[in-house]
Copies of this chain bind each other. A is one copy, B any other.
């Protein structure tokens, strides 16, 4: 039975009321007798009436949809983020329009423009956005929450992962609990926001907790290969560090390989820690100690914040950070002083 499609008028005719009453009744705004409401209900159900979103949006100026602009993310992070956003959105009756895996500022800009007018708010996680980008492509006052972004523009709401706190905590753990002293750090790519924040956390912890130990930072680029190279470089140093903290797990994986190749025992000869808690982490031998981020929580939180923004419950210039937890496994040598 693929009839044309029932409109509000059909329902009105069927229930012998005006379209206005149907609208009021179905939107639960009151102003209708219990009796007529019932009559309208049965008419609507009988005709399989479902209101037309386009028409509704046209006059309401609301789409009940939020847009998510995401870069080319890898598995776990992406799916968890979407999960968090989607769950929170659904529970608020919002829909989720996704535009992912764009790859460059131009593509991001195009995607953003295309969303324009289709969404009531935006969630943006992208390495390409900076203040200029936003000013150019987000002209009107579309509520927006930036995720894990370095922009600190006035009037922009941004939610970050507490990379710095996480790195601090892991460094502290390596120093205090595991009893290491010389802790080297494999940095991420320059200009990467996450990488810089993590380096900052490491520096801060070393400065406060081991002020006499010189910093030992080698370069990396978040790839497994760069971690391997960094590991080899560290082993060449005249005084081998007792622990290595890689700015992400992939580099830790590469680094671990370099250590094994050199015949070193981890963590007996040298300890290791990563950042991200990717799924592989717990399957390495020994399992990798790392800093884990609750990504779904990040998504959920971002959406809550956006919803608050859209409802006018919150200012648009708030900045927040989401905590990390350190996952102590095999590679960091937690029992060294035991």
Within 8 Å of chain B (Cβ to Cβ): is A57? Answer: yes
Chain B residue contacts of A117, Cβ below 8 A: 50-54
State which of B53, B73, B102 has its C-beta within 8 Å of the C-beta of A118: B53
A2 touches B118 (CB 8 A): no
Q: Report Cα–Cα, A115/B116, bound state, in Å.
A: 19
Within 8 Å of chain B (Cβ to Cβ): is A141? Answer: yes
Within 8 Å of chain B (Cβ to Cβ): is A96? Answer: yes
The interface bits of chain A over 85-124 (1 if a CB of B lies within 8 angstroms of the residue's CB, else 0) are 0110010000111111110000000010111111000000
A98 touches B101 (CB 8 A): no
B63 touches A73 (CB 8 A): no
Chain B residue contacts of A283, Cβ below 8 A: 253, 280, 283-284
Within 8 Å of chain B (Cβ to Cβ): is A28? Answer: no
What size tier do the contact residues of chain A reach? 35 or more
Q: Report Cα–Cα, A105/B75, bound state, in Å.
A: 26
Q: Report Cα–Cα, A46/B39, bound state, in Å.
A: 51
State which of B1, B58, B114 has its C-beta within 8 Å of the C-beta of A139: B1
Chain B residue contacts of A280, Cβ below 8 A: 279-280, 283
Within 8 Å of chain B (Cβ to Cβ): is A79? Answer: yes
Within 8 Å of chain B (Cβ to Cβ): is A38? Answer: no
Chain B residue contacts of A97, Cβ below 8 A: 65, 95-98
Chain B residue contacts of A96, Cβ below 8 A: 97-99
A71 CB to closest chain B CB (Å) equals 11
Chain B residue contacts of A116, Cβ below 8 A: 50
State which of B2, B76, B114 has its C-beta within 8 Å of the C-beta of A76: B76
* Shortest Cβ distance from A81 into B: residue: B79
Within 8 Å of chain B (Cβ to Cβ): is A16? Answer: no
Within 8 Å of chain B (Cβ to Cβ): is A10? Answer: no
Within 8 Å of chain B (Cβ to Cβ): is A237? Answer: no
Given contacts A2-B139, A279-B280, contact A83 B54 (CB under 8 A): no
A140 touches B5 (CB 8 A): yes
Within 8 Å of chain B (Cβ to Cβ): is A80? Answer: yes
Chain B residue contacts of A80, Cβ below 8 A: 75
State which of B1, B82, B140 has its C-beta within 8 Å of the C-beta of A98: B82
A155 CB to closest chain B CB (Å) equals 11
Within 8 Å of chain B (Cβ to Cβ): is A78? Answer: yes
Within 8 Å of chain B (Cβ to Cβ): is A33? Answer: no
23 contacts between A and B (CB under 8 A): A1-B139, A2-B139, A48-B139, A58-B58, A65-B97, A74-B79, A75-B75, A75-B76, A75-B80, A76-B79, A78-B78, A78-B79, A82-B100, A83-B100, A86-B100, A86-B101, A90-B111, A95-B99, A95-B118, A96-B97, A96-B98, A98-B98, A280-B280
Binding site for B on A (CB under 8 A): 1-2, 5, 48, 50-55, 57-58, 63, 65, 72-80, 82-83, 86-87, 90, 95-102, 111, 113-118, 139-141, 253, 279-280, 283-285
